[in-house]
């Protein structure tokens, strides 16, 4: 594949002499598609949570520390980091966190994310009135995979209508999104962020004013996902603008912001050019999820995990 040609289509600003760093953006983009290189871990990542080289002397003393997880390859390191003073925002744009925002905005009582299909079936026995939702390989989980019946819902945000989810509890398991949420279990707070609820999520995190902020890109398999990078980067750009003041930004956070700066206002084209977007566009009845996920603030709710592990509306 011609990397330069694809980059010119998805990142026209970077090709047109943008003042932002096009090298950072292209490096991240190539990693997202697994074409020319890969980013297995954050630059200078330290599983012990110690100060990174890029943070030394950066910002004022006591400034908020902002870090990022770029791909699932880094999830395991979070178990060894002290996250007690950290607020996490998890992004799985195509499609888990987009579904979560849609469900909560449309009146779902709460969403319980679990790792495995067996965990979902076990939770269903404890909450018999709950809906089962989730995917494997992008498709709704079927009876052949559960040993019983089909799941009630898949992982398309267009399924989580008010008529379907109003007043209901939902138990969900997905390939990456629920893994990303689980990796943040030791943190002081976890939000499910998406482009469809970006403004509400920004406001909620600004109100928290955490000592440390970690944005987590859920990715695909063990690889980085372009759409997560774009929205997580845009979140950080707007968070810094609204917050003001100085922050200690890690290299990973800077990479996200640099990439997001090179993307135009309309994200549908960029999402469509990502691996996940292209795959969904080629699947029957799922192509509409791409434009849905690229719609800004159509679900203006902040979704936060409560003390019992359920994702609920932040009030």
The pLDDT, as a whole number, for residue 255 is: 97
- Please name every residue paired with 216 in a beta bridge, in sequence order, or none if there are none: 69, 90
- Mean pLDDT, the chain cut into blocks of 10 residues (315 residues total): 43 44 46 37 37 39 88 95 98 99 99 98 98 96 95 98 99 97 97 99 97 98 97 98 91 97 91 97 96 99 98 96
The pLDDT, as a whole number, for residue 32 is: 42
Q: Which domains does the chain have, with CATH numbers?
A: 64-315 (3.90.1560.10)
Peptide bond into 95 cis (omega under 30): yes
What tokens were used for 313?
A: 């509306």
Cα–Cα distance for residue pair 55/204, rounded to 1 Å:
26
pTM beyond 0.75: the answer is yes
The pLDDT, as a whole number, for residue 68 is: 99
- Please name every residue paired with 220 in a beta bridge, in sequence order, or none if there are none: 223
The pLDDT, as a whole number, for residue 25 is: 52
How many other C-beta atoms are found inside a 10 Å radius of the C-beta of residue 148? 10
The pLDDT, as a whole number, for residue 62 is: 66
Q: Which of 112, 116, 156 is nearest to 131 (CA)?
A: 112
The pLDDT, as a whole number, for residue 245 is: 74
Close Cβ partners of 7 (under 8 Å, ≥ 6 residues apart): 14, 15, 26, 29, 30
For the segment 242-297, what is each residue's pLDDT rounded down to a tens digit? Answer: 998 789 999 999 999 999 999 988 899 999 999 999 999 999 999 999 999 999 99
Cα–Cα distance for residue pair 137/140, rounded to 1 Å:
8
The pLDDT, as a whole number, for residue 190 is: 99
The pLDDT, as a whole number, for residue 315 is: 86
The pLDDT, as a whole number, for residue 310 is: 98
Close Cβ partners of 308 (under 8 Å, ≥ 6 residues apart): none
Beta strands in 151-233 (DSSP E): 169-173, 189-193, 212-217
What tokens were used for 267?
A: 């994200």
The pLDDT, as a whole number, for residue 265 is: 82
Q: Which of 36, 113, 38, 22 is nearest to 70 (CA)?
A: 38
In sequence order, which ranges of 34-155 are alpha helices (DSSP H)? Answer: 96-105, 117-126, 143-146
């Amino acid at each position: 594949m011609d990397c330069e040609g694809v980059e010119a289509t998805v990142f026209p600003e970077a090709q047109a002499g943008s003042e932002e760093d096009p090298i950072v953006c292209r490096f991240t983009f190539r990693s997202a598609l697994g074409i020319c290189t890969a980013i297995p871990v954050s630059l200078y990542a330290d599983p012990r949570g110690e100060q990174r080289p890029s943070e030394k002397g950066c910002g004022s003393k006591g400034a908020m520390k902002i870090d990022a997880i770029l791909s699932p390859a880094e999830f395991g390191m979070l178990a060894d980091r002290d996250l007690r003073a950290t607020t996490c925002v998890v992004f799985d744009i195509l499609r888990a966190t987009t579904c979560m925002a849609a469900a909560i905005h449309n009146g779902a009582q709460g969403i319980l994310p679990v790792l495995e299909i067996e965990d979902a079936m076990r939770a269903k026995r404890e909450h018999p009135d709950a809906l089962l939702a989730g995917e494997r390989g992008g498709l709704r989980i079927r009876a052949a995979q559960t040993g019983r019946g089909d799941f009630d819902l898949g992982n398309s945000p267009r399924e989580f209508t008010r008529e379907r989810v109003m007043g209901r509890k939902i138990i969900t398991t997905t390939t990456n999104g629920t893994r990303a949420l689980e990796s943040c279990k030791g943190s002081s707070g976890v939000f499910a962020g998406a482009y469809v609820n970006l403004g509400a999520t920004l406001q909620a995190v600004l109100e928290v004013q955490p000592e440390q902020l970690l944005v987590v890109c859920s990715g695909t398999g063990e690889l980085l996902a372009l759409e997560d990078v774009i929205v997580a980067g845009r979140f950080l750009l707007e968070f810094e603008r609204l917050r003001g003041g100085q922050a200690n930004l890690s290299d990973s956070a800077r990479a996200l912001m640099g990439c997001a700066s090179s993307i135009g206002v309309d994200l549908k084209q960029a999402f469509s050019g990502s691996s996940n977007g292209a795959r969904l566009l080629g699947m029957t009845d799922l192509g509409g999820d791409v434009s849905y996920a690229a719609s800004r603030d159509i679900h203006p709710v902040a979704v936060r995990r409560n003390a019992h592990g359920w994702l609920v509306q932040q009030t």
